């Protein structure tokens, strides 16, 4: 039995022709023949990209779209070149992360528009691109998510003015750095002292490369109460960072963004204490779903704020099985 026939209300239509009503329910292959390329951002197997890819894979299965997942190793130039190639190949739709920024994505979006290729964006928004060339955005409102995470950490851990925090911020690329920088602003608005460290992209591909940086920062600032990590890859390595710097479980708070099996292990072992869940499965699934609706049914693009929840020490047990399965 196809459960989608019962849960996807937008696909049920009533038509009236010559006084007759016809109920029409789209089947499993309702998007068959539509070529969609989806960009998972990181390398294959990356803790975050793998969950995004799981969303894409399920969307391809549920719609019947002729889909392909493309990995870019978090290399902006590689991703942009691959998007150009997909457009040149004559695909029908593309879902891509906006971390290249508005300026870099505008000529790509124009190229897609001129070729009749529909675009949908995820994870990092490109509002200027969407304003000019259309397309939806599935992902967190990064600025609001970051500030809210900072406020929650202040409440949960009872921080006081003067308490010290280390916050990783990707300097020089504010479209990607805004959520971490807004954590900084929330802390500073509360009167806390913040040490900012550049969240070099190398730490995404191999989080262990940041061990010397974090150890040195903690040695220079031994009164640090909390570290804010810029992504699930780094947060999932929280135990290694703490141990390398001589900290045991729950001796320093570590928080950040995203969920994964590694992040859940950090909760279990007392090295991760709070994360903002931007639901990467939805970020992979919904853009494909939206592109199919637009291509087959002529509907408008879907935009969805996915950054609406938190995982912390009180509720991670409800997420751990799904995270270990690569779905959260």
Q: For the segment 117-142, what is each residue's pLDDT rounded down to a tens digit?
A: 999 999 999 999 999 999 999 999 99
- Asked whether residue 326 is assigned to any structural domain, the reply reads no
- 136 with 157, same domain: the answer is no
Per-residue pLDDT, averaged over 281-289, amounts to 98
- 135 with 39, same domain: the answer is yes
Q: How confident is the model at residue 24 (pLDDT cuts 50, 70, 90)?
A: low
- 299 with 215, same domain: the answer is no
Say what the pLDDT of residue 103 is.
93
Alpha helices for the chain (secondary structure H):
4-7, 47-63, 76-88, 102-115, 127-133, 142-157, 174-189, 202-205, 211-220, 232-235, 238-244, 261-269, 280-292, 320-324
Per-residue pLDDT, averaged over 134-151, amounts to 96
- 88 with 182, same domain: the answer is no
Q: How confident is the model at residue 201 (pLDDT cuts 50, 70, 90)?
A: low
Say what the pLDDT of residue 12 is.
40
- 128 with 47, same domain: the answer is yes
- 120 with 54, same domain: the answer is yes
Q: How confident is the model at residue 195 (pLDDT cuts 50, 70, 90)?
A: very high
CATH at residue 125: 3.40.50.2300
Question: Does the pLDDT of residue 2 top 60, yes or no?
Answer: no
- Asked whether residue 324 is assigned to any structural domain, the reply reads no
28-70 pLDDT per residue, tens: 899 999 999 999 999 998 889 999 999 999 999 999 999 999 9
**pLDDT exceeding 90 applies to what percent of the chain?**
82
- 133 with 179, same domain: the answer is no
- Asked whether residue 316 is assigned to any structural domain, the reply reads no
Question: Does the pLDDT of residue 199 top 90, yes or no?
Answer: no
- 117 with 266, same domain: the answer is no
Per-residue pLDDT, averaged over 136-157, amounts to 96
- 65 with 169, same domain: the answer is no
**Domain tally for the chain?**
2
Question: Does the pLDDT of residue 81 top 80, yes or no?
Answer: yes
Question: Does the pLDDT of residue 3 top 80, yes or no?
Answer: no
Supply the range of the domain harboring residue 44.
29-140+279-308
Question: Does the pLDDT of residue 204 top 50, yes or no?
Answer: yes
pTM: 0.86
Say what the pLDDT of residue 45 is.
87
248-275 pLDDT per residue, tens: 999 999 999 999 999 999 999 999 999 9
Do residues 94 and 117 touch, judged by C-beta distance below 8 A? yes
- 110 with 234, same domain: the answer is no
- Asked whether residue 2 is assigned to any structural domain, the reply reads no
Q: How confident is the model at residue 171 (pLDDT cuts 50, 70, 90)?
A: confident
Question: Does the pLDDT of residue 209 top 80, yes or no?
Answer: yes
Provide the mean pLDDT of the chain.
91
Closest residue by Cα to residue 178 from 120, 122, 107, 99: 99
- Asked whether residue 325 is assigned to any structural domain, the reply reads no
Per-residue pLDDT, averaged over 155-179, amounts to 89
Planar angle of CA 20, 292, 120, nearest 5 degrees: 140
- 267 with 147, same domain: the answer is yes
Q: How confident is the model at residue 176 (pLDDT cuts 50, 70, 90)?
A: confident
Question: Does the pLDDT of residue 175 top 90, yes or no?
Answer: no
3-state secondary structure 51-91: HHHHHHHHHHHHHCCEEEEECCCCCHHHHHHHHHHHHHCCC
- Asked whether residue 24 is assigned to any structural domain, the reply reads no
- 271 with 299, same domain: the answer is no
Say what the pLDDT of residue 25 is.
67
User: Which residue's entry shows tokens 């031994």?
Assistant: 222
- Asked whether residue 304 is assigned to any structural domain, the reply reads yes
**pLDDT exceeding 70 applies to what percent of the chain?**
90
- Asked whether residue 323 is assigned to any structural domain, the reply reads no
What is residue 41's three-state secondary structure?
coil
Per-residue pLDDT, averaged over 229-241, amounts to 94
Question: Does the pLDDT of residue 26 top 90, yes or no?
Answer: no
């Amino acid at each position: 039995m196809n459960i989608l026939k019962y849960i996807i209300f937008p696909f049920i239509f009533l038509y009236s022709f010559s006084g007759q009503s016809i109920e029409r329910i789209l089947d499993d292959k309702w998007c068959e023949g539509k070529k969609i390329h989806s960009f998972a951002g990181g390398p294959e197997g990356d803790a975050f990209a793998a969950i995004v890819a799981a969303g894409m894979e399920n969307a391809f299965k549920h719609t019947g779209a002729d889909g392909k997942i493309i990995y870019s190793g978090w290399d902006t130039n590689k991703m942009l070149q691959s998007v150009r190639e997909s457009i040149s190949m004559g695909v029908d739709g593309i879902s891509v992360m906006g971390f290249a920024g508005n300026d870099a994505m505008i000529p790509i979006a124009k190229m897609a528009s001129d070729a009749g290729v529909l675009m949908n964006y995820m994870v990092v928004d490109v509002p200027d691109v969407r304003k000019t060339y259309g397309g939806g955005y599935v992902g967190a409102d990064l600025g609001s998510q970051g500030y809210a995470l900072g406020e929650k950490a202040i409440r949960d851990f009872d921080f006081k003015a003067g308490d010290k925090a280390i916050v990783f911020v990707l300097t020089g690329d504010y479209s990607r750095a805004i959520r971490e920088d807004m954590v900084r602003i929330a802390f500073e608005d509360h009167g806390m002292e913040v040490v900012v460290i550049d969240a070099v992209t190398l730490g995404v591909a191999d989080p262990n490369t940041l061990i010397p940086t974090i150890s040195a920062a903690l040695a220079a600032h031994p009164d640090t109460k909390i570290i804010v990590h810029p992504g699930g890859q780094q947060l999932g390595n929280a135990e290694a960072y703490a141990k390398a710097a001589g900290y045991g479980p729950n001796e320093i708070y570590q928080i950040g963004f995203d969920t994964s099996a590694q992040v859940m292990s950090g909760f279990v072992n007392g090295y991760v204490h709070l994360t903002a869940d931007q639901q990467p499965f939805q970020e992979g699934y919904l853009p494909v779903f939206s592109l199919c609706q637009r291509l087959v049914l002529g509907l408008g693009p879907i935009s969805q704020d996915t950054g609406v929840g938190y995982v912390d020490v009180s509720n991670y047990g409800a997420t751990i099985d799904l995270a270990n399965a690569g779905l959260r």
